[in-house]
Structure 1
Amino acid sequence: MLKKIAYITLFALSLTSCNDALDDINKNPNATETPLAPYLLTGSLKQGADLYWGSDNNFNSSLLFVQHWAKIQYTEPDRYDVSNTSFTSLWNTGYATLITDLNTILKFPEAQANSNYKGIALTLRSWTFLLLTDAYGSIPYKEAGQKVNPAYSTQKEVYTGLLEDLKQAQSLLGTANGAVTGDLAYKGDIGRWKKLVNSLRLRIALRISDKEPALAKQTAIDATSDAAGLISNNSDTFKFTYISSPQQNPASAWFETRDDFRISKTLVDKLNELSDPRLPVYAQLPSDATVGKYVGGANGLSNSDANSQGFAKTSKPGTYFLTSTSPAVIASYSETLFNVAEAVARGYIAGNAEQLYKDAITASFNQFGITDATAISNYLNQATVKYDATNYAKSIGTQKWIAFYGQGLDAFVEWRRLDYPVLKAGPATVLDGQIPSRFFYPGTEQSLNGNSYQAAVSAQGKDLLTTKLWFDAK
């Protein structure tokens, strides 16, 4: 019996030592034992840019919904014939990668991450949560990363919570608070990060303006009067600039092997109507030289009707957006000016809304390399472009929609919020003439976090593409 016990003990010890050996073998010799803040920051910026500009959340969904792009084949997404597996990357990458890594930075001791790293991490986390709630509505926020089955916060709770988070981010950021490396967006320029924080606060103020006007007004006052300022020129624009393959712009990578998107006819028609000089930037001439003009693809067509428009006779998106180094613009100077103009128009702050509107359009032109003063003046002086103080939502909404070209997720929010321009669903769409108002929750939420999911849906409305979110419900 003692002999048998000895054999069992020896066997157990051998298993233990074997497992220890396997653990050593499976260790990555190039990996750091403790994640470093610069690496996490770099990774978060790259992952965030890919998420924002990539196929699932941008050109295969939100860019179609706002009719910036259209499908010329495989048209199911353009007809809204999608399922709850279609919008998983924003959710999964947002939570499992971005928020997780940014929370890691926030939990670091001072020796591993100074307060500037933490201010930047909190800013980027706030932006990530903003993308999530803008797309889905109620989301795990207060309990995200805290519980295995986190409860959902309402959209109102998320927006108001993010305003507090951004206040905290602003207090953490300071030029005397230590150097930052790994920052591929602003190269460690803390002054620009502080401007971004205020610009995001103003963005959220307008998100809540129809529901919480008093808080929106105070937020607009605070954001525009803060000493750090707002994004104040095109060099302040928050963007991620790509390099060569395999780190190239996602749209560039897509078009290397695929040919299923065109610029939307809706946008081409509007740009032609306004003689807009951004058209050659936004679109390419059809490869069939006999066409000789820009031709958009119609949205919401059947596959056969979309194909019949002619691959060679329709315009691809402009090469500006399809080169390896094309930047992923996330918060532009133009958007910030439009937001200030709207804050003035709503009576939140003092200023000249019309001039700010003109400045916003000019900033968009400059962003895309159009600097000719005469061309800009001629555009602004058209009756169809001039600012209409009696309907600021139409003026700002239409021009913001044009300026947001390529930024599908935010263009989608602003179109829902301002209700301009007036868009019509394509003839083969499947939502009874409606255009989506949100993304589906991922199907995994029903199976893995079912109670929280059911509570959120009961409060917000059915998990449908057509359910209007809190900020959008008139």
Structure 2
Amino acid sequence: MIYKNISLKAFTALLAGAMCLTACDNGFEEMNTNPNAYTDPVIGSLFSYSIIKTAGDGDNNTLYANDKLSGCFVQYFASLNAWQWTGDKYLYKQDYNKGLFETAYSSELKETAQLISLLKDKPDMSNMYHIARIWRVFILHRVTDMYGDIPYSQAGLGYIESVYKPGYDSQDQVYAAMLGELEASAQALDAAKASFGGADFLYGGDAAKWKKFAYSLMLRLGMRLTKVDIGMAETWVKKAIAGGVMQSNADIAKLDHTGGSANNWNVNSYLLQGGEGVPPSAQGKGYSKLNKTFIDHLKATKDPRLPFYSTLWQGNADPAKLAQTSAPDVQKGLPGGYDYTTIKDLIPNWTDNMQAEYSEININTIAALAAPTIFQAYSEVSLLLAEAALRKWTTGDVKTYYDNAVKASMESQALYPGNVTVTPAQIQAYLTANPYNATTLDAGMKQIHTQFWASHFMNNIEVYANWRRTGYPILVPTNYAGNETGGTIPRRLRYPESEASLNREAYSAAVSKQGPDLFTTRIWWDK
């Protein structure tokens, strides 16, 4: 019936044309494939990209989460600008609050999820698979520590299985899964097998280094549980130590940067140097200042890291002046929790020009464009080992671990530009003036974790988590008018508003279980 009204001549022509198309198809696909284009994922590039994005993908997972919120909560930073810097006043600003959550799932995790899917059934690429799993834990542990219950088991599946409304796992389930993954992957790493090589910007594909990082991260997460499940905490801390954690600054998990090309800058440093931080053009009247709590502690303990952390604005504008502008005796921290008007209640003769007298973060050293991004430091591991020894969970002397941590922190300044280093004599003088001398668990925790705070400035997300777990350093909260907490330091961040609308069922279930979606709701391990 199809051919009823078609002439024989026309039908013959159609048939000949079809035969020609079939014959001509040989080699067609090859002819139309660009030999210079990638049609399959480049495994190494996926991993490199994930590392870079986790180190800094704009404001969201750097300036917002790390500085304006976490850094202000633990009183590293203060600002008189209530709109641009909200954290020291406990105000809610949607962009700041949602930044880490949305960036982790949309940017940091994307390539890692693809890697895990691509490599899971390839035994010859098992090192790469397990390194990707370790990195996935690193990405998501920061999210759960900031928000509580999160999508974990289904995290990243939107990219490979079209799961666009992932369910939330309770934080106890997340922690059990993360610790289990770290253990399995650390044990599976094999130095005899291939790895990412030069595409691994942390360790150059060194499986032994990744094993140490996995166990060091396990130590961090195990200690996180001391308030909620002391038995579980002890079990995982002991496993981490037995597995083998970092032994020196050579084991630090970090991404190096260079100052020459914008593509290689430290994103957090770049943003701090910009209009919302401490631009030298502002002549000391930028929005960001170092907090009085932090500066006063460093001065009181005669901490030789102070010139590395801090300067007056003239030194940021002209490094030749740093010897004078970073001198400890001229540093002065700004009280947190005030704005341009209310600061006059504290300092009656205040004028805005007086901002120039207060200390800024040093953009020549710790906040330089070429400053490394530290994901986990050996000094942190040493302090956690000190706590483990204090709790009798490991052998070794608490004071020795504590001293090693201080030494490692101060010596790590050599990894940064600016040539502001601490001499062995200065380290010893500091330890002599500030010895570890605690005789009880509470006193030991106070000394260890106040040092944790003094040592890990600019790893602010982790310091904020550690403060919530330990209560140290002792911080006096502010009570700015209209704050979200009633004058207490926030215990978590709120979920992005988009979750309540686009993933409502999962979001509602999480809030119903965890508690109201507020700054004051404590997450599972923060009891």
Structure 1, 238-247 or 392-401: larger mean CA deviation: 238-247
Return the index of the structure with the highest Cα Rg: 2
Q: Report if aligned partners of 1:237, 1:332 keep a CA contact under 8 Å in 2.
A: yes
Following superposition, the deviation at residue 256 of structure 1 comes to 4.1
Identical pairs, percent = 29
The 1-side partners of 2:241 and 2:355 are apart by 47
The SS at the match of 1:108 is helix
Q: Which moved more, 1:297-306 or 1:438-447?
A: 297-306
CA–CA distance in 2 between the matches of 1:264 and 1:94?
28
Q: Which moved more, 1:305-314 or 1:390-399?
A: 305-314
Q: Output the amino acid matched with 1:78.
A: D
The amino acid across from 1:297 in the alignment is: L
Q: What residue in structure 2 maps to residue 167 of structure 1?
A: 183
Distance 1:280 1:202 in 2: 31
State the SS of the aligned residue for 1:246. helix
Instruction: Pick from 132, 149, 161 the counterpart of residue 143 of structure 2.
Output: 132
- Equivalent residue number for residue 388 of structure 1: 438
Closer/same/farther in 2, CA of residues 303 and 67 from structure 1, 3 Å limit:
same
Of residues 334, 344, 349, the one that matches 1:297 is: 334
CA distance in structure 2 between the aligned counterparts of 1:252 and 1:468, rounded to whole angstroms = 31
The 5 A counterparts of 1:432-443 are 432-443=486-497
AA paired with 1:245?
Answer: A
For 1:270-419, list aligned pairs within 5 A.
270-287=297-314, 293-305=330-342, 308=352, 310-318=354-362, 319-369=364-414, 370-382=421-433, 385-390=435-440, 391-419=443-471
Amino acid in the other structure paired with 2:100: L
Change (3 A) 1:72 1:242: farther
Which residue of 277, 290, 298 maps to 1:263? Answer: 290
Q: What do residues 230-255 of structure 1 show as CA deviations (whole Å, max 9, x unaligned)?
A: 11111210011112313311233224
Alpha-carbon separation, structure 1, partners of 2:256 and 2:428? 30
Letter in 1 for 2:439: A
Alignment partners' CA distance in 1, 2:457 and 2:148: 23
Pairwise CA distance, 1:145: 3.4
| 2:100 corresponding residue in structure 1 | 90
Instruction: Tell me how far apart the structure 2 counterparts of residues 252 and 199 of structure 1 sit (CA, whole Å).
Output: 26
For structure 2, the residue ranges without an aligned partner over 5 or more in a row are 7-32, 158-162, 279-286, 316-320, 344-350, 415-420
In the other structure, the counterpart of 2:109 is: 99
Q: Any idea what SS the aligned residue of 2:71 has?
A: helix
Partner of 1:206: 223
Q: Structure 1 pair 329/424, CA: closer, same or farther in 2 (3 Å)?
A: same
Residue 113 of structure 1 deviates from its aligned partner by: 7.6
Asked if structure 2 preserves the Cα contact closer than 8 Å seen for 1:141 and 1:153, the reply is yes
**2: CA distance between counterparts of 1:138 and 1:86?**
19
Give the residue type in structure 1 aligned to 2:202: A
RMSD of the alignment, in Å? 2.5
Structure-2 separation of matches of 1:278 and 1:159: 34
Q: Distance between the aligned counterparts of 1:261 and 1:97, measured in 2?
A: 27
**Paired residue secondary structure (1:329):** strand
Read off the aligned partner of 2:91 and give its amino acid letter: D
2:15 alignment partner in structure 1:
none
In the alignment, structure 1 residue 420 sits paired with structure 2 residue 475: no
3-state SS, counterpart of residue 330 of structure 1: strand
CA distance in 1, matches of 2:463, 2:474: 13
Superposed, which structure 2 residues align to 1:186-201 within 5 Å? 186-201=203-218
Q: Is contact 1:342–1:396 with CA below 8 Å preserved after alignment?
A: yes
- 1:454 CA displacement: 1.2
Contact preservation (8 Å) 2:55, 2:373: yes
Aligned residue for 1:11? none
CA distance in 2, matches of 1:69, 1:31: 47
Contact 1:53 1:407 in 2 (8 A): no
Q: Does 1:251 align with 2:257?
A: no
Structure 2 residue 244 is matched with structure 1 residue 238: no
Note if 1:114 corresponds to 2:130: no
Shifted more, 110-119 versus 388-397: the winner is: 110-119
Q: Mean alpha-carbon deviation: is it higher for 149-158 or for 307-316?
A: 307-316
1:60 counterpart residue number: 68
Q: Which residue of 2 aligns with 1:24?
A: none
Partner of 1:10: none
User: SS of 1:402's equivalent?
Assistant: helix
Deviation, 1:183, is: 0.8
- What CA deviation, in whole Å up to 9, does each residue of 1:255-276 have, x standing for no partner? 4432321221111000000000
- 1:456 and 2:510 correspond: yes
Q: Distance in 1 between matches of 2:101 and 2:376?
A: 21
The structure with higher relative contact order (CA 8 Å, sep 6+) is: 1
| Structure 2 contact 265–369 (Cα < 8 Å) conserved | yes
CA distance in 1, matches of 2:37, 2:266: 27
